[in-house]
Structure 1
Amino acid sequence: MLRYKRLNIHTTQGFAGELTRESQYVFNYRTDNPACEIALSMPLRAQSYAANLLPGVLRQNLPEGYLYFWIREHFGKVARMDDMSILAIAGRDVIGRVRCLTPDAAPDQEIPGESLEAILTWRGTEDLFADLARRYALASGISGVQPKVLVPEQLAQTGKEVIDKSTIKGRRLIVKASGDDYPGLAENEYLCMSIAREAGLDVPDFWLSESRQLFVVQRFDYDEGRYLGFEDMTSLMNRQTDEKYTGSYEQVAKALTLFCAADQVSRSLAELFQSVTLSVLLRNGDAHLKNFGVLYTHPHRDDCRLSPLYDVVNTTVYIPPDTLALKLHGSKVWPGREDLLRFGREHCRLDHPDEVIDRLVETAMAFRPEAESAIWRQMRPEIEKAGLLLTGLHRRPVSAHPAQPPASAAAGSASD
C-alpha cells in the first residue's frame, strides 16, 4: 500500500522546504529567503521543526466531512489514509499561499476551470456538484464538513485574438452544496452573507445558483494573480481541528492583537466585534476557531490583518438548542446586549460598541430577500427574536414594539 513519506512545500514566494514523515512530522527549510517562511510562527532556521502533529498552517486545510470521505473512498485501497497521504492528494490547491507537492509533481499545473455563469444557471438532470467534485476534489484542500470544492473560474474568450494565458487570472471560487442533512443550507448562507454585506461588513463576492442548491463564493486569499497567506485560529493557537470549539472569543481577540500588524490591530478588532455580534444576531452557532483567520502577503511584509467574513449560517433552524461555538465571558449561552458591550469595550477596544450593535440589529431586522422561501421563513423569526433581545425590546409591552422595521434601514436584496 502506497505511503507518502516526503512532500515539497512551496509558497507564493518560492520553494520553502521539505516535510518528511519519520517517527514524527519533520519540516526543514531549504531556502535562505525569509519571504518563503510558511507560517507566522515558523521563522527561518537551520534546526528542524519536529512534532507529532503536522504544522498548523498545513493541518488547517486537511479536508473534513464530504471531501475527506470522498478521498477515502477513491484512494483508500491504494494509499494509507493518514494526514501525510491526504496532504499529498489534496495539498496542491489549498486556502492560503502554501502548497504541498509530491517530489515528482510539477509546481504549476493549469486547470481549465468552469464558467461561473454556467454553475449559477445549471438546469441539467445530473448532479452538478457531484460532477464538480469528481473533477476538482483532488485540487480542493479546504476544511469544513459541508460539501465544498475549490474551482477556478474559466475566463470567457471571444474572437480570434491570441491571449497570453499567463497574463490573465480568473477568479478562484468555492462552490458549496446544501447536502442532505441540512436542507436549504446554501440559501441560508447566502441570506446571512447578504445581511452581513448590507451591514457593511467585509465580505468576499458571492452568488446563489438559480436552483438555490449551490452557494458560490470568491476566494479572498487570491489577489491579482497571487495567493495570500492565510492562517485560521487553530493554526495561530496551535490547536487541532477537533479542538475548534475549544476556547473563547476573548482568545481570538488576543491572537489578533499578537499577530496583526500594528496598524491593522484596531481595524481587525473592530471587525471581530462586528463578526461576533452578527453571529449572535443571526444565531450562527458555528463561529468556531476555524472560521476566523488572518491574511498577509508573507510573514515579513507586516500587513497581517483579520480576513473577510466567511462561513456564516443560521444554525438554530437545524439545531434549535444550539449555542455559541466558543465561550464569551466563560459561557456558551447566547449573550445579551450587556455581554457584547463588555466584550467590545474590554477586548476589542471600542469606544461605542452600542452603535455597532444597533446598526447590525437595524440592518438584520429590515432585511427582506427578493422572494420568500421556506428557509427564510424559518430563519426570520430566529433573527428577529435575537434582534429584540439585543435591543431590549423584548422587555417592553407588546404595543411598544415597532410594527415595521426601522425606516432608516433600507430593505436588503438577496440577489447579485
Structure 2
Amino acid sequence: MVLIDGAIAVPRVGEASTHLIKPEPDRFPGLAANEAFCLALARALGLDAAMAAWHEADGKPYLLVTRYDRLHRDAQTIRLHQEDFAQALGVPSNRKYASEGGPTFRDGFALVRQATTRPAREVLKLADAALFNVIIGNADAHAKNYSLLRRADGEVVLAPLYDLVATHIWPELSAKLAMRFGRAATLEDVDAESFERFAADAGLGLPFLRRRAAALAARVQEVIAEGVTVPGLQDGDCLDELPAIVLDRAARFTLKARV
C-alpha cells in the first residue's frame, strides 16, 4: 500500500509501495497488538526493527508496517534490494524451517559473515535478534524472518527485524523452534547448556555471549518496567498480560544466561 496525506491507498501500476497491511486473523485474536508491542519493545532496546502501528477498521485490527526497503528521495520512492536468508542461500520457501532441511543459525551466521559489508557488526545484530526472539517467546523465527538489505550506498547489512511475535501466547501454536537455539528444540528446552552450542554456531565466545544475553534480558525488564509506547495503542489496550509475561520470561532468561 501507499500513504497519501495519511490515507491508505493502492499503489498505481509500477509505483513502489511504502507500507504493508497485516490484517489480524480471526484465529489469533490480539496478534496485531502482540506484534506491534514486540516491535516497539525491540526498538526501545535499541535493536533495529521495522516501524509498525496498530489500527482498526470496522472493528477489525490490523498492523500498518512501514517498509524498510524503500528510500525517499526528491519526492520519489526508490526500491532497495533485500533477500531473506532462504532466498540468499538458494532454499525454496517451503523449506524455510530448519527441521524441514532449511537454514540453521550456523548457516545464517556464515551467510552474514560472507555477504555483509561489516560482518563483525552484523553478526552481533543477528545474535541479539536470536536472543530477543527467545526472550519474548517467538518460536516461529525461521529463515524468511531474517533478511539482508542493500542500502543506497551499496552497503549490505542485516535488515531491520520484522515479524516479531510472542507465539507462545497461543497454546495451539507449536513451541518447536523454527531454528534450534543451541541444542534446544523448543522454547522451554532453552537452558544454560544451550548457550554453548549457540555460541559455537554464531562463532562467538561463550563468556561474551552469556554476558550479552544477560544484559539484553536485563534491559528488556527495565524497558517494560518503564513502559513501552506502542504506536496506535494507549494504556496497554489489547495487550492483556503480554508485557507481564515477557517480563517474567526475561527474568528467567537472565538466570539461564548467567549460569
TM normalised by structure 1 equals 0.50
Given that residues 282 and 314 in structure 1 are in contact (C-alpha distance below 8 angstroms), is that contact kept between their aligned partners in structure 2?
A: yes
Give the letter for the 1:180 counterpart: D
Counterpart CA distance in 2 for 1:114 and 1:260 is 31
Give the letter for the 2:235 counterpart: A
1:218 paired residue number = 66
* CA apart distance, 1:342: 5.0
Given that residues 256 and 306 in structure 1 are in contact (C-alpha distance below 8 angstroms), is that contact kept between their aligned partners in structure 2?
A: yes
Residue 60 of structure 2 is aligned to residue 181 of structure 1? no
Over residues 267-292 of structure 1, what are the superposed CA-to-partner deviations in whole Å (9 max), with x where a residue is unaligned?
11100011000100010111100001
Counterpart CA distance in 2 for 1:198 and 1:217 is 17
* CA apart distance, 1:175: 1.6
Summarize the Cα distance change of 1:331–1:339 in structure 2 as closer, same or farther, 3 Å threshold.
Answer: closer
Pair member with larger Rg: 1
Structure 2, unaligned runs of 5 or more: 229-233
Kindly report the root-mean-square deviation, in angstroms, between the aligned alpha carbons of the 2 structures.
3.1
Counterpart CA distance in 1 for 2:13 and 2:179 is 31
The SS at the match of 2:239 is: helix
1:309 paired residue number = 161
1:328 paired residue number = 181
Counterpart CA distance in 2 for 1:178 and 1:189 is 10
1:282 paired residue number = 136
Counterpart CA distance in 1 for 2:54 and 2:84 is 25
2:231 paired residue number = none
1:413 paired residue number = none
Counterpart CA distance in 2 for 1:151 and 1:319 is 38
Give the letter for the 2:83 counterpart: E
1:235 paired residue number = 87
* Amino-acid identity (%): 21
**Count of aligned pairs:** 235
Residue 53 of structure 2 is aligned to residue 207 of structure 1? yes
The SS at the match of 2:167 is: coil
Over residues 96-141 of structure 1, what are the superposed CA-to-partner deviations in whole Å (9 max), with x where a residue is unaligned?
xxxxxxxxxxxxxxx9x4347445xxxxxxxxxxxx6xx56x979x
Counterpart CA distance in 1 for 2:221 and 2:240 is 13
> As a proportion of its length, which structure holds more helix?
2
Counterpart CA distance in 2 for 1:282 and 1:295 is 24
The SS at the match of 1:251 is: helix
Given that residues 183 and 194 in structure 2 are in contact (C-alpha distance below 8 angstroms), is that contact kept between their aligned partners in structure 1?
A: no
Q: Where in structure 2 are the equivalents of 1:230-309 lying within 5 Å?
A: 230-246=82-98, 247-261=103-117, 264-297=118-151, 303-309=155-161
Whose RCO is larger (CA < 8 A, sep 6+)? 2
Give the letter for the 1:195 counterpart: L
Q: Where in structure 2 are the equivalents of 1:16-415 lying within 5 Å?
A: 113-115=2-4, 117-118=6-7, 135=10, 152=17, 172-209=18-55, 213-224=61-72, 225-246=77-98, 247-261=103-117, 264-297=118-151, 303-319=155-171, 322-334=175-187, 335-340=190-195, 343-344=198-199, 347-349=202-204, 352-366=208-222, 367=224, 368-369=227-228, 371-377=235-241, 379-392=242-255
Given that residues 150 and 157 in structure 2 are in contact (C-alpha distance below 8 angstroms), is that contact kept between their aligned partners in structure 1?
A: yes
Given that residues 68 and 160 in structure 2 are in contact (C-alpha distance below 8 angstroms), is that contact kept between their aligned partners in structure 1?
A: yes
Given that residues 190 and 215 in structure 1 are in contact (C-alpha distance below 8 angstroms), is that contact kept between their aligned partners in structure 2?
A: yes
Counterpart CA distance in 1 for 2:201 and 2:95 is 25
Summarize the Cα distance change of 1:118–1:234 in structure 2 as closer, same or farther, 3 Å threshold.
Answer: same
The SS at the match of 1:316 is: helix
> As a proportion of its length, which structure holds more strand?
2
The SS at the match of 1:209 is: strand
Counterpart CA distance in 2 for 1:179 and 1:373 is 18
* CA apart distance, 1:304: 1.6
Give the letter for the 1:324 counterpart: L
